[in-house]
Amino acid sequence: MTALEHFVVAAEPYYRPVGNEVAVFEAAYRHRLPVMLKGPTGCGKTRFLEYMAWRLRRPLITVAAHEDMTAADLVGRFLLVPGETVWHDGPLTLAARGGAICYIDEIVEARQDTTVVIHPLTDARRVLPLEKKNELVAAHADFQIVISYNPGYQSAVKDLKESTKQRFVGIDFFYPEADVEAEIVARESGAGAALAATLVEIGRRSRNLRGQGLEEGASTRMLIHAGRLALAGLGLEAAARAAVVLPLTDDAELREALGGAIAACLE
Amino acid sequence: MMATEAAAAPRLLAALRGRAGLDPLAQTAWGAVVAQGDAAGAARWADAVLALLHANAGAACLGAMLRLRGPAAALAEAAEHATDICRHAGAAPTIACLDTWDRLRVGGLWPGFCRLAREAPDVLAPATANAAAIVGAVGGEGFADFVALGLKAAGRDKARRAAFFALTSKLARQALAQGAGAGFSAHERLLKLFGTALWGRVPALRPLPAAPGRPPPRRASLSDGVVLLPESFPGVPQAAQGAVFRATVAHALAHLMAGAPRQPVGTLKPLQLVLVGLIEDARVEALALRRFPGLRRLWAPFHVAPPEGGTIPALLARLARALFDPDYQDSHGFVAKGRALMAAAAPFDPAASRRIGGLLGNDLGQMRLQFNARTHVIEPAYRDDGLGLWDFGERAETPPELLDLMVEAARLRQEAGEGGADTAGTGADTARARPAAAAHADGTVLARYPEWDRAQGVERPEWTCVRDVPARLGDARQVATALDAAPDLRRRIDRLVRAARPGRPRRLKRQPDGMELDMDAVLDAEVARAAGELPGEHVYRGSALCNRDLATVVLVDVSASTGDGGVLETERVAVALLAEAMARLGDPFALMAFASDGREQVRLTRIKDFAEPFAVATQARLAGLTPGLSTRLGAALRHAGADLAGVRSYRRLVLVLTDGEPSDIDVPDPADLVEDSRRAVLGLRARGIDAFAVVLGTAGADTAARMFGRSGHVALRRLEDLPARLSDLYFRLTRR
């Protein structure tokens, strides 16, 4: 358990439930069912999971998936010390042995043949075979696996295998309703209610351009950043430009259009 | 400097000394110029006027020059240009030029005048007379371009030249309507994005066409959800056009957001219509400002009416400003009443606009002021003409000025309907017209191809004749609108494109050399060494660029059956999406549509060749496709293969989009054509060209399997899936 100590979420993270996601997650955890968090970037998936880990008092091990990730990066590998090779558990093995929640962020970024290593852990077997070591790790009773998944990335090239998808319980995230989002922005950035409401209105404008040149609209996280900049003394228009418009697009016309729409939201 | 000043001025004054009329003028003019304290400018002025004198300008011309007042530098420039004009065209046109410049005070006039003086002095008179109108439409900077256009278009034809500068020729009117710069089209994308961001859905923006025999439209118009915009706003400088367009779109969207239905005109008079429109404008703006307070900054610069002036246009402008700007002070009873009525009304009630407008109209009527409905132009410039509010219906007795408005509104509505709706109507027309057209335009013979005779088991050489039929041009905007309607799909394809784009390095494991160690390979080698085996040497990681080298011909079936149930419409969108993706990937591709009318008439329409970019012209051809005739697939496949044979690519692909099995009027048994197509596919494969079919509907699935093989086709049960699946499929087929 000592290896997992620093993965424990000590203080309660701020999370504002927007639906029944807490209840769904708790029910899934009761039976240790694997969970899939879906939703656009910056809408609170990771925060939600931190909150749930705190609530359930489980350590949380996070792995950011990427294209070059191999199965060994998840499971572990032999490393060299002078004269011999020593096995090092990967994050997945660590979590499975110690009973942590293993969170694989943006799982579609990893190649499909990598992600299949989680299969034996996600069905009734709940085991992790370490082929190189000839060992079968039986998952700890508290172990749970959670993945996140941005449905926008769904494509023929980057998609989960059907056999992977069907192992998970899904929880859908989206940008919350305007008043709830304003509450979150206010709480996280320290902005007043009126400023937060304006920021959310700005966010809505950018989300309207989704698919019209913008891949995604401004995330809640972006709006929080804009709020912090505004509170740091930057004008709201400048803050929105720095935190929202410029990061979102390089297209000059799109910037101008978005800038115009944002200006329309400001007094 | 002082020396030059001293030298030039006395020389000018000395030259004019004693000339009756000019001497005192020169003295006063010189005094006015010197008084500005710009010694260099004054000297330049004196030099320039002296030069004008030496150019034999004559007393009248010099007098006109000396009467001008203004900054010395500007006057000197005028004198220099006047000298130039005078040398080439004589004194009388020079006076006209000076007068025109004095009236308009736009520096951009001079290059145009000078060019005309040199190349076409005969049209200086109409050009100076119409300069105000020209500058009003194209801006001062555009004047020289307008002149250049006129000279170029007319060539040596003096009559045409005269007509152009008299503004009676069609080209001149077009140029004026288009206005400064590229007009609406230069702003279109920005406006669309701006509207989308504000409103949450893509606004339908269309250019407002000028009606033949009428002046170009000056204001936007709303017509059943479509925003019609003029090519430019006359009288607005080029740099400010963008701001007017944006304010106009924001205003139009305010109307659409407030969403009042058309109202019957009833017995309202033109002035009342205008007033109700004005009140409604104020109402929707107030509603929009509640949600988007920043729009005030967009609209405020246009409300500049001062609280004075008693004519109807002045009173209307004052009322508009009073309703818009709470800080505006105006004590006129009419304006105050309008404000009070508006403040008392419920903002969400469209009927209030009509009531208030009617009341104010009565008041205005009692003031017995002149109102000319024909020449009235809505102010401020960003507001629409208000015709979109009204349902003119069909009334027996209509006052003539209302008739004018009605005709205009009906015309706009009709045009917007044609542009916005699908082409089902036009498609049917063309299909009906086709047999006649086909008799005339058989198309150029491209090639003859063999066909397989199933009954005899032989190949009939030169059996079919493939002809190139020129594409009909449709409205490219229609394709763009269809693409806009599928943002999610576009995003998804965008990602596919990015994932597949060449130049993205791919990691290679277990390489014999490289910069980085492949940790797994090193471990294996170490383990092997420890075990006394021979360790592997491939222990490095490397990366390689995956290059795409693929050429595609997309064959689109446009036979008569694609006219049913919007098949062709969907094909169009799917092909446009795919073409967009292929163009962005840089994959060479060609688009062709095919239909047939017997073996002598296999009609191919080239939408895009390999060498062409996928641009507006291509989209217009795509939009112009019309369904008709039959499907002789084999010949089309063979021709696509021949087209691809000339392309140097590692992989070559023919992608067929069809809605069923092949058939033709001169082939009683469709199985013949199925067999022929199968052989055509085999022929392609033998030459290293892949053929793949996307079949719409399940009916043709079995046939497709026969022709293209089990793995060579995909049948789509639902037509709506086509756009998404076609592009997905392309990426799947072309991976690796």
Q: Which of B426-440, B524-538, B545-559 has the highest mean pLDDT?
A: B524-538
pLDDT for position B430: 37
Q: Are A211 and B530 inside 8 Å of each other by CB? A: no
Range of lowest pLDDT (A258-267, B121-130, B369-378): B369-378
Q: Which of residues 21-60 of A touch B (CB under 8 A)?
A: none
Compare CB distances from A72 to B520, B526, B735 and report the shortest one's residue. Answer: B520
Q: Are A157 and B484 inside 8 Å of each other by CB? A: no
Q: Are A157 and B500 inside 8 Å of each other by CB? A: yes
Is the pLDDT at B375 greater than 50? The verdict is yes
Chosen domain end from A140, A172, A204: A172
Distance from CA of A184 to the nearest CA of B (A): 21
Q: Are A264 and B294 inside 8 Å of each other by CB? A: yes
Q: Which of residues 76-105 of A touch B (CB under 8 A)?
A: 77-80, 84-85
Based on the fold, state whether residues A83 and A204 are members of the same structural domain: no
Q: Point out which residues pair with B505 in neighbouring strands.
A: B545
The closest alpha carbon to B238, from B181, B316, B305, B172, belongs to: B181
Which chain A residue's Cα is nearest to B480?
A: A212
The structure tokens listed for A204 are: 């809505």
Those residues with Cβ within 8 angstroms of residue A140's Cβ, 6 or more apart along the chain or in another chain: A96, A97, A98, A99, A100
Centre a 10 Å sphere on the Cβ of residue B448 and count the other Cβ atoms it contains.
17
C-alpha B729/C-alpha B62 separation (Å) is 78
Residues B122-137 have a mean pLDDT of 85
Based on the fold, state whether residues A182 and A163 are members of the same structural domain: no
The closest alpha carbon to B727, from B485, B493, B409, belongs to: B493
Based on the fold, state whether residues A119 and A218 are members of the same structural domain: no
C-alpha A206/C-alpha A186 separation (Å) is 19
Which chain A residue's Cα is nearest to B495?
A: A153
pLDDT for position B421: 39
The interface predicted TM-score of the complex, written ipTM, equals 0.83
What is the phi/psi pair of residue B458, to 5°?
Answer: -130, 160
C-alpha A65/C-alpha B303 separation (Å) is 56
Check residues A9 and B492 and name the one with the higher pLDDT.
Answer: A9
pLDDT for position B736: 47
What is the phi/psi pair of residue A130, to 5°?
Answer: -105, 95
Residue to mutate among A131, A132, A155, with most B CBs inside 10 A, is A155
Residues shown for chain A: 267
Based on the fold, state whether residues A164 and A248 are members of the same structural domain: no
A vs B: CB pairs below 8 A = 109
Report angle CA B567, B570, B576 to the nearest 5 degrees: 140
Is the pLDDT at B460 greater than 50? The verdict is yes
- The 10s digit of each residue's pLDDT in B133-179 is 888 777 777 788 888 888 888 878 888 888 888 888 878 877 776 66
CATH number, residue A141: 3.40.50.300
Judged by phi (left if over 0) then psi (alpha if -120 to 50, else beta), residue B162 lies in alpha
Q: Are A210 and B487 inside 8 Å of each other by CB? A: yes
- How much is the CA Rg of chain B, to the nearest whole Å? 36
Chain A partners within 8 Å of B199 (Cβ) = 208
What is the separation, in whole angstroms, between the first and last Cα of chain A? 55
- The answer to whether the beta carbons of residues B283 and B350 sit under 8 Å apart is yes
Based on the structure, what is the number of domains in chain A?
2
Q: How far is CA B75 from CA A210, B49, B56, B71, B135, in A?
A: 55, 9, 19, 6, 20
Based on the fold, state whether residues A147 and A243 are members of the same structural domain: no
**B386 by DSSP, 3-state: which?**
coil
C-alpha A118/C-alpha B582 separation (Å) is 36
The answer to whether A259 contacts chain B (CB < 8 Å) is: no
- The 10s digit of each residue's pLDDT in B216-242 is 678 888 887 888 888 878 777 777 888
pLDDT for position A61: 95
Please provide the average confidence, as pLDDT, over all residues in chain B.
80
Side-chain half-sphere CA neighbours of B5 within 13 A: 13
Q: Strand order in A101-105's β-sheet?
A: A60-64, A101-105, A144-149, A35-38, A169-172
Based on the fold, state whether residues A224 and A250 are members of the same structural domain: yes
Based on the fold, state whether residues A9 and A136 are members of the same structural domain: yes
Compare CB distances from A205 to B197, B492, B496 and report the shortest one's residue. Answer: B197
Which chain B residue's Cα is nearest to A72?
A: B520
Q: How far is CA B140 from CA B110, B131, B183, B240, in A?
A: 10, 10, 15, 13
- The answer to whether the beta carbons of residues A220 and A184 sit under 8 Å apart is yes
pLDDT for position B212: 61
Which chain A residue's Cα is nearest to B189?
A: A253
- The answer to whether the beta carbons of residues B369 and B284 sit under 8 Å apart is no
Which chain A residue's Cα is nearest to B290?
A: A265
Chosen domain end from A127, A150, A172: A172
Residue to mutate among B248, B491, B517, with most A CBs inside 10 A, is B491
Which chain B residue's Cα is nearest to A109?
A: B499
pLDDT for position A204: 92
Instruction: Provide the pairing of β-strand B221-223 with B263-264.
Output: unpaired
Q: Are B523 and A85 inside 8 Å of each other by CB? A: yes
Which chain A residue's Cα is nearest to B489?
A: A211
Is the pLDDT at B424 greater than 70? The verdict is no
Instruction: Provide the pairing of β-strand A84-89 with A76-81.
Output: antiparallel
Distance from CA of A263 to the nearest CA of B (A): 5
What is the phi/psi pair of residue B130, to 5°?
Answer: -100, 5
Range of the domain at A207: 178-265
Amino acid identity, residue B123?
V
DSSP string, B199-215: HSS--EEEE-PPPTTSP
pLDDT for position B410: 54
Domains (range + CATH), chain B: 2-177 (no CATH), 179-421 (no CATH), 476-498+548-733 (3.40.50.410), 505-545 (no CATH)
The residue behind tokens 């004589």 is B90
Residue to mutate among A158, A208, A241, A267, with most B CBs inside 10 A, is A208
Chain A partners within 8 Å of B196 (Cβ) = 208-209, 212, 257
Q: Are B197 and A258 inside 8 Å of each other by CB? A: yes
- The answer to whether the beta carbons of residues B572 and B482 sit under 8 Å apart is yes
Interface of B with A (CB under 8 A): 189-194, 196-202, 246, 250, 292-295, 297-298, 484, 486-488, 490-492, 494-496, 499-500, 507, 519-520, 522-523, 526-527, 530, 728, 731-732, 735
pLDDT for position A25: 96
Based on the fold, state whether residues A230 and A107 are members of the same structural domain: no
The closest alpha carbon to B215, from B187, B179, B177, B184, belongs to: B177
Those residues with Cβ within 8 angstroms of residue B43's Cβ, 6 or more apart along the chain or in another chain: B1, B4, B5, B8, B9
pLDDT for position B726: 79
Based on the fold, state whether residues A168 and A212 are members of the same structural domain: no
Residues shown for chain B: 736
Compare CB distances from B200 to A68, A208, A258 and report the shortest one's residue. Answer: A208
Chain A partners within 8 Å of B488 (Cβ) = 211
Based on the fold, state whether residues A22 and A146 are members of the same structural domain: yes
Centre a 10 Å sphere on the Cβ of residue A82 and count the other Cβ atoms it contains.
4
Centre a 10 Å sphere on the Cβ of residue A194 and count the other Cβ atoms it contains.
11
Q: How far is CA B651 from CA B496, B583, B734, in A?
A: 19, 17, 9
Residues of chain A with pLDDT under 50: 1, 154-156
Chosen domain end from A128, A157, A172: A172
Q: What is the DSSP letter of A243?
A: I
B313 membership: H or E segment, kind and range: helix B312-324
Distance from CA of A85 to the nearest CA of B (A): 8
- The 10s digit of each residue's pLDDT in B265-309 is 777 788 888 888 899 999 999 999 998 999 999 999 999 888 888
- The 10s digit of each residue's pLDDT in B385-408 is 888 888 776 554 445 555 565 555
pLDDT for position A13: 94
The structure tokens listed for A79 are: 């490393």
Torsion on CA atoms B479, B480, B486, B488, rounded to nearest 10 = 140
The answer to whether A205 contacts chain B (CB < 8 Å) is: yes
Q: Are A157 and B492 inside 8 Å of each other by CB? A: no
Is the pLDDT at B64 greater than 60? The verdict is yes
Based on the fold, state whether residues A65 and A159 are members of the same structural domain: yes
Chain A partners within 8 Å of B295 (Cβ) = 264
**B592 by DSSP, 3-state: which?**
strand
pLDDT for position A63: 94
Side-chain half-sphere CA neighbours of A57 within 13 A: 0
Which chain A residue's Cα is nearest to B298?
A: A264
The closest alpha carbon to B473, from B601, B629, B643, B605, belongs to: B605
Residue to mutate among B193, B296, B492, B580, with most A CBs inside 10 A, is B193
Torsion on CA atoms B635, B636, B637, B642, rounded to nearest 10 = 90
Based on the fold, state whether residues A50 and A119 are members of the same structural domain: yes
Interhelix angle B270-291/B350-366, nearest 10 degrees: 140
Report angle CA B463, B464, B468 to the nearest 5 degrees: 155
